Structure 1
Amino acid sequence: MAIASEINGKPVDGRALVDEIRRQGVELGFQHVGITGVDLADDEVHLLNWLDEGLHGEMEYMKRHGTRRSRPVDLRPGTLRVISARMDYAPAGLSGAWDVLADGERAYVSRYALGRDYHKVLRARLQTLADRIAELTGPFGHRVFTDSAPVLEKALARNAGLGWIGKHTLLLSRDVGSWFFLGEIYTDLALPCDSQETPHCGTCTRCIDICPTQAIIAPYKLDARRCISYLTIELRGSIPEDLRPLIGNRVFGCDDCQLICPWNKFAQSTPEADFAPRHGLETASLADLFAWTEQQFLDRTEGMAIRRTGYDGWSRNIAVALGNAPSTPAVIAALRSRENDRSPIVREHVQWASHEHARKERQSSISG
């Protein structure tokens, strides 16, 4: 489109406006801001095929939303452009994640969830950015999103030049890898668009090979029903027994495909204090976390993404991890402390975990 455009009846240099939007975005803590249109036709085909195959599991809301996810105008009428913004979240000492995964008595929490809930952080910053844009253009139609509505955020970010969608289905940037959050402003401003990023995964399949449950069933195709993030966060009922041993000590989400990705060697530690780990969760023991009461869980996870699982889901996940842990006195005592838990779902998984330790003890006796 032409560099010059008209907003609220006044001629505007579109490129200069976009440059100022980027500058304001960086000032607010975003590391990259891009602009794209609303055409997601190819991505819509991919989405609908994925849903038809049932790979979304019990996330029925994805099917209910239908094409609103791939048609921004249906979600917010009048939308012409999407402002896509990236905020990095990698905590300092990210390499220590491998040490936690290797220690069966410690709990692994996905690095994005160690600090304040990103929804709260990004939504507030995006709204501030929208307010600042309005100071430049006058009132304009818009709506802010941060994983809070049916939005194909990765496809939009790709189209806005923020990165490409990797074989693990996450967005990747050559500059910083994948340790970042995304947020969007749907707007009726006819801003100049950025160029789409091209893929740079090449022949690498490390993310596919390392997935503990083999949830990446083909390049760019994820079976959510096998994904540990889905199993420990979105799934509300029992975790399938055949997948429990594969979860290891991951109690909220999974980062293996990101930890192994070569592009993440470029990741930078976040400057955001809100994303710093809380309550020692980056190195906490399973037994200590399993001893939390419901009130302690609510108090300690206030304002954090971990709240999404609820206390029973959190306890269910830890019970599975305890079943996969070494049969130490602390682990066995933790399981026994809640074998009569009030929650049927927790009792079921505690019982499974206890049986796992009994089975391993029998095997050890036979082999010994």
Structure 2
Amino acid sequence: MMISTSRAALEEIATSLGFSDVRVCRADEAWAAAGRLEEFVEQGRHGSMGWMETTLQRRKQPTNMWPEAKSALVVAMNYGPESDPLEDLKATSTGNISVYARHRDYHDVMKGKLKQLAQTFARETGEEVKVFVDTAPLMEKPLAEKAGLGWQGKHTNLVSREHGSWLFLGVMLTTAELEPDTPEADYCGSCTACLDICPTDAFPAPYQLDARRCISYLTIEHKGPIPVEFRKAMGNRIYGCDDCLAVCPWNKFAATASEAKLVARDDLKSPPLADLLVLDDAGFRSLFSGSPIKRIGRDRFIRNCLIAAGNSGDAALLPLVDGLRSDPDPVVAEAADWALAQLK
């Protein structure tokens, strides 16, 4: 039996918790996303993210992870920046951190609120629920598209006509049979702005991504040395990349983040590379306490900062770079050698 009486209440609660939108889709239907994911992994475009391969079967369908799930309630929360992040690429002696990581870890912010929503729903309906915020083998973007929150654009990220591209997603799976919303149509049209701006040509074709060439993957997920062919293109990007999101014309409808915990910290908007290159492990952990950046660790972060230093043209960074050539971590030391050669 379809449960519809609680839908209006759900939307009211979601709004009061700070979610920008909430929609519903079936969780137990076959979909094209499964085949696309399988092809992505078969072609090796997931790079060193081995967990995508080991969890492939569970990822392909929500019910592979929870067979009793009938519906998916998908929520979105806006995290739009106060200004154009592409402007930050011009300040080459500073580090450019992806907009999503300039504040508290969104996983914690979103999950806490989604749990409140789910607990209320479970209490009122007696149905079982499980919540997910990018920490389980669940494909949230295809679910959001199916639920009508937006569509996966040519850059493979979700785009909304109401909210643009700056959206965090969360999912509540439930045993309840909720009335599904209509999937959103694709409004990318002939626009290729997101494909054209990519510094490393990470899109083999529209709607396809090769993570191995993506700066977000290289600076966050990739553990070894950054391939030399991508280093100059990284510019001052030290954690993630926003280019394909920031250039999307649909962002003219985007609003700045309203959730206080998602407002950018002043010290993470354009941090001077000179302040970052001196961080030891304790200093790194202290600076990024409560931040998603903390999970990549000091060594990987300093590797990224050294590449940015090599691209900066700032001779004042030479002593700091030179000092890191003897760093205990060989990946850091190699990046320092490269950066020193670039600055000289």
TM-score by length of 1: 0.91
Percent of aligned positions with the same letter in both sequences?
A: 39
C-alpha separation between the residues in 1 aligned to 2:189 and 2:266?
40
1:104 to 73, 84, 92: 92
Letter in 1 for 2:6: L
Q: How far apart are residue 91 of structure 1 and its match?
A: 3.0
Q: How far apart are residue 286 of structure 1 and its match?
A: 1.1
- Which runs of structure 2 are paired with 1:137-286 in the superposition (5 Å)? 137-138=125-126, 140-278=127-265, 280-286=267-273
Q: How far apart are residue 135 of structure 1 and its match?
A: 2.8
**Contact 1:123–1:145 (CA under 8 A) maintained in structure 2:** yes
SS of equivalent residue, structure 1 residue 85: strand
Q: How far apart are residue 136 of structure 1 and its match?
A: 1.7
Which residue does the alignment assign to 2:283?
A: 296
**Contact 1:26–1:32 (CA under 8 A) maintained in structure 2:** yes
SS of equivalent residue, structure 1 residue 185: strand
Which residue does the alignment assign to 1:126?
A: 114
Unaligned runs of 5+ in 1: 7-13, 359-368
Letter in 1 for 2:8: D
C-alpha separation between the residues in 1 aligned to 2:143 and 2:158?
10
**Contact 1:40–1:155 (CA under 8 A) maintained in structure 2:** no
Which residue does the alignment assign to 2:14?
A: 25
SS of equivalent residue, structure 1 residue 86: strand
Letter in 2 for 1:50: F
Aligned residues: 343
1:90 to 80, 87, 97: 80
**Contact 2:122–2:128 (CA under 8 A) maintained in structure 1:** no
Which residue does the alignment assign to 1:9?
A: none
SS of equivalent residue, structure 2 residue 228: coil
Is 1:34 matched with 2:9?
no
**Contact 1:76–1:143 (CA under 8 A) maintained in structure 2:** no
C-alpha separation between the residues in 2 aligned to 1:155 and 1:80?
16
Moved over 6 A (4+): none
Greater Cα offset, 295-304 or 332-341: 332-341
For the aligned residues, what is the CA RMSD? 1.2
Is 1:51 matched with 2:37?
no
C-alpha separation between the residues in 1 aligned to 2:183 and 2:314?
51
SS of equivalent residue, structure 1 residue 237: coil
C-alpha separation between the residues in 2 aligned to 1:277 and 1:244?
26
C-alpha separation between the residues in 2 aligned to 1:357 and 1:40?
54
C-alpha separation between the residues in 1 aligned to 2:257 and 2:172?
22
Which residue does the alignment assign to 1:365?
A: none
2:4 to 15, 31, 38: 15
SS of equivalent residue, structure 1 residue 346: helix
Q: How far apart are residue 281 of structure 1 and its match?
A: 1.0
C-alpha separation between the residues in 2 aligned to 1:191 and 1:327?
58
Is 1:348 matched with 2:337?
no
The Cα offsets for residues 119-176 of structure 1, whole Å up to 9 and x where unpaired, read as 10111111110111123213x2121100010111000000111000000000000011
C-alpha separation between the residues in 2 aligned to 1:40 and 1:257?
29
C-alpha separation between the residues in 2 aligned to 1:305 and 1:46?
28
C-alpha separation between the residues in 2 aligned to 1:66 and 1:112?
26
SS of equivalent residue, structure 1 residue 87: strand
Which residue does the alignment assign to 2:104?
A: 116
Greater gyration radius: 1
C-alpha separation between the residues in 1 aligned to 2:250 and 2:259?
22
The Cα offsets for residues 254-298 of structure 1, whole Å up to 9 and x where unpaired, read as 000111110111110111111122351102111111122211110
The Cα offsets for residues 310-335 of structure 1, whole Å up to 9 and x where unpaired, read as 11000000011111111322x21221
2:124 to 123, 128, 136: 136
Q: How far apart are residue 355 of structure 1 and its match?
A: 1.3
TM-score by length of 2: 0.97
Cα separation, partners in 2 of 1:281 and 1:182, compared to 1, 3 Å: same
**Contact 1:215–1:227 (CA under 8 A) maintained in structure 2:** yes
SS of equivalent residue, structure 1 residue 186: strand
**Contact 1:15–1:192 (CA under 8 A) maintained in structure 2:** yes
**Contact 1:279–1:300 (CA under 8 A) maintained in structure 2:** no
Greater Cα offset, 33-42 or 141-150: 33-42
Which residue does the alignment assign to 1:332?
A: 318
